Chains A and B, each alone.
Chain A
Amino acid sequence: MTPINQGPVSTRPATGEGDAADLRSVILETRDVTVTYGTHEALHPTSLAFAAGEVTSLIGPSGCGKSTYLRSINLMNREIEGCKVGGQVIYRGQDVNAPGVDLFELRKHIGMVFQQPNPFHKSIYENVAFAPRRHGITKKSDLDQLVEESLRAAAIWDEVKDKLSESGFALSGGQQQRLCIARTLAMHPDIVLMDEPCSALDPISTFAVEETIRSMASRGICTIIVTHNMEQAARVSDRCAFFLLGEMVETGVTAEMFANPSDQRLDDYLTGRFG
């Protein structure tokens, strides 16, 4: 594996930069990333940097391009016909769109959690163990350990430890989503992308997922979360990026951005004047 890129980030707006960018260990960087469907540019050039152990919220009204941006990071956009990604997505110093980059290897390191909980039609155990086994972990004891560790990390172990052989679909929506997080964590990812992971969940489940996100950050995982919920962005994220109409308008440290938005459009959004 290439060493973590320690370099500073060049293309970032100077707004809300209270922290020393050079101290952050940037693991993922996008440079002028664009996403085009046919002739429609759904995402205008977006440059952001993400550090290990940091949670970044992507906020903005529906259709602003934040999910589109998220899906360009692990190249899920490639699965959509007619979708083109421009610019550079640099993971650990390597452009992921460069020829020769192993897409499947990349997605092991950059996990994804979706808006709707989507466990497999398999047992709880298999939901977590399935992908690691496909990637070559075959020893039963190793898998057992990985399953327990991942379910614990997603704060769901105590609820499911006695029914690992039951279907993942027998769980509640909130539990299903935490199972999906456990499934992602079982790959030992560096980065976890979350596309509105709590929008289908009740407040208690949302709280559990947010706790999980914080504990992931404390273990050095870089989390990028798309959310509609400003309180959630304030609670879980260290940094924030505001998207509007396919444009990344403002980025910075969450607390500062929310307290002192420098762009009028973000101010309008935060005060509920639209969106």
Chain B
Amino acid sequence: MASSSASARARRQDHIATGVLTAIVAVICVALVAIVVYIVGSGAGKLFDVSFLTGKPQQFKAGGGIGPELFNSFYLLVLTLLLSLPLSLGAAIYLAEYAHEGPVTTAAKTIIETLSSLPSIVVGLFGMLFFVLQLGWGFSIMSGALALTMFNLPILTRVIQQALEAVPRDQRDAGLALGLTRWETTIHILIPSAMPAIVTGVILSAGRVFGEAAALIYTAGQSAPMLDFTNFDLSSASCPWNVWRPAETLAVHIWKINSEGVVPDLAAVSSGTAAVLMVCILAFNIIARIVGRRLERRLTAE
């Protein structure tokens, strides 16, 4: 009798827990969907407006576009990933596969964890003092990309390290027992197995980089010279590929027009930019996931 009432209580608790957990998830989902719908909804008018997407930003009058900002955001993202992906991959492989457990690895892991929660404004100010002023690079894409790399490196390293560590030990054993080196085992067996998790990690970090403002305000700067895509003179400020020119991104643009903007259509430009940023990140996520899945299929069973 006692045991049956105990099991009835356990079942009731299970029902309550299920209900509470479902409610929590529902609240989170509703809040997130509401934010996305609100942002995309309020900027919807600008989302398909070609002259807004490709146009030149205005300082004082209405009708400004975000052409250079859109390009700058992608360009900085690509440069940042080019810099941070190989470095973090190398660091993660070392930490996960080569390093012996000991004070040095423990210290390295602690430092990486600390750095991954470093406020981005701190990274930005460091970037300004070091890249912009000390090295004299000025407000430039290079300063911005390096600041973003510093910001991205610890997160990416941790994600890749965890992805590698999540591959079952027996996969390593199988490779080593066939007379393969640790490097062959890592490159040909572990990385392909960890690829979906690595791709997900890269997407998430790329989303953060793409939407980052604080680290860029004082490194890549807040001005967006109009770009001329026929200009391949890498020393010219209007050459899109010139990494020494200042480059305002979408996220910095939102911050700037809201804090010191004087254009009459400020709210429309701001919400339009936010909507574009949002859609870009969504699209980037979806594309990267598809690529990740294809890659996994190709690498694992052709």
- A residues with CB within 8 A of B: 74, 76, 79, 81, 103-108, 111-112, 114, 116, 118-123, 126, 130-131, 134-135, 165-170, 180, 183-184, 187
Distance to closest chain B CB from A195 (angstroms): 10
27 contacts between A and B (CB under 8 A): A76-B176, A76-B177, A79-B172, A79-B173, A81-B100, A105-B179, A107-B176, A107-B177, A112-B173, A112-B177, A114-B177, A118-B168, A118-B170, A118-B174, A120-B189, A121-B189, A121-B192, A121-B301, A126-B301, A131-B179, A131-B180, A165-B301, A165-B302, A166-B301, A183-B174, A183-B178, A187-B178
Docked Cα-Cα span, A114 to B101, in Å, equals: 25
Docked Cα-Cα span, A130 to B170, in Å, equals: 17
Distance to closest chain A CB from B128 (angstroms): 44
Q: How many residues of B contact A (CB 8 A)?
A: 24
A76 contacts which chain B residues (CB < 8 A)? 173, 176-177
Docked Cα-Cα span, A32 to B181, in Å, equals: 28
B301 engages A167 (CB within 8 Å): yes
Given the contacts A79-B173, A114-B173, A118-B170, A104 and B179 also touching, CB distance less than 8 Å: yes
Query: For the complex, would chain B's binding face be called helix, strand, loop or mixed by DSSP majority?
Result: helix
A123 engages B178 (CB within 8 Å): no
Given the contacts A118-B168, A118-B170, A108 and B192 also touching, CB distance less than 8 Å: no
A118 engages B171 (CB within 8 Å): yes
Docked Cα-Cα span, A119 to B175, in Å, equals: 10
A81 engages B193 (CB within 8 Å): no
A180 contacts which chain B residues (CB < 8 A)? 174
B302 contacts which chain A residues (CB < 8 A)? 122-123, 126, 165
A133's closest neighbor in chain B, by CB? B188
Interface contacts (Cβ under 8 Å), in number, total 81
Docked Cα-Cα span, A116 to B169, in Å, equals: 11
Partner of A120, one of B171, B177, B181: B171
A104's closest neighbor in chain B, by CB? B179
A112's closest neighbor in chain B, by CB? B177
B100 engages A122 (CB within 8 Å): no
A168 engages B179 (CB within 8 Å): no
Within 8 A of A (CB), among B130-175: 168, 170-175
B192's closest neighbor in chain A, by CB? A121
Docked Cα-Cα span, A225 to B169, in Å, equals: 21
B168 contacts which chain A residues (CB < 8 A)? 118
Distance to closest chain A CB from B35 (angstroms): 37
Indicate if B110 sits at the interface (CB-CB under 8 A).
no
16 additional A-B pairs beyond A111-B177, A114-B174, beta carbons within 8 Å, are A79-B172, A81-B100, A104-B179, A106-B179, A112-B173, A114-B173, A118-B170, A121-B189, A131-B178, A131-B179, A134-B184, A165-B301, A166-B301, A170-B301, A183-B174, A184-B178
Given the contacts A111-B178, A134-B184, A121 and B300 also touching, CB distance less than 8 Å: yes
Could you give, for residues 99-131 of chain B, a 1 whenever the CB lies within 8 Å of some chain A CB and a 0 otherwise? 011000000000000000000000000000000
B170 engages A116 (CB within 8 Å): yes
Docked Cα-Cα span, A2 to B172, in Å, equals: 30
A122 engages B300 (CB within 8 Å): yes
A104 engages B193 (CB within 8 Å): no
B300 contacts which chain A residues (CB < 8 A)? 121-123, 167
Given the contacts A121-B192, A121-B301, A187 and B173 also touching, CB distance less than 8 Å: no
B193 contacts which chain A residues (CB < 8 A)? 120-121
Docked Cα-Cα span, A145 to B101, in Å, equals: 43
Q: Which 4 A-B pairs have the closest CB atoms?
A: A167-B301, A107-B179, A118-B170, A112-B177
Docked Cα-Cα span, A170 to B174, in Å, equals: 18
B100 contacts which chain A residues (CB < 8 A)? 81
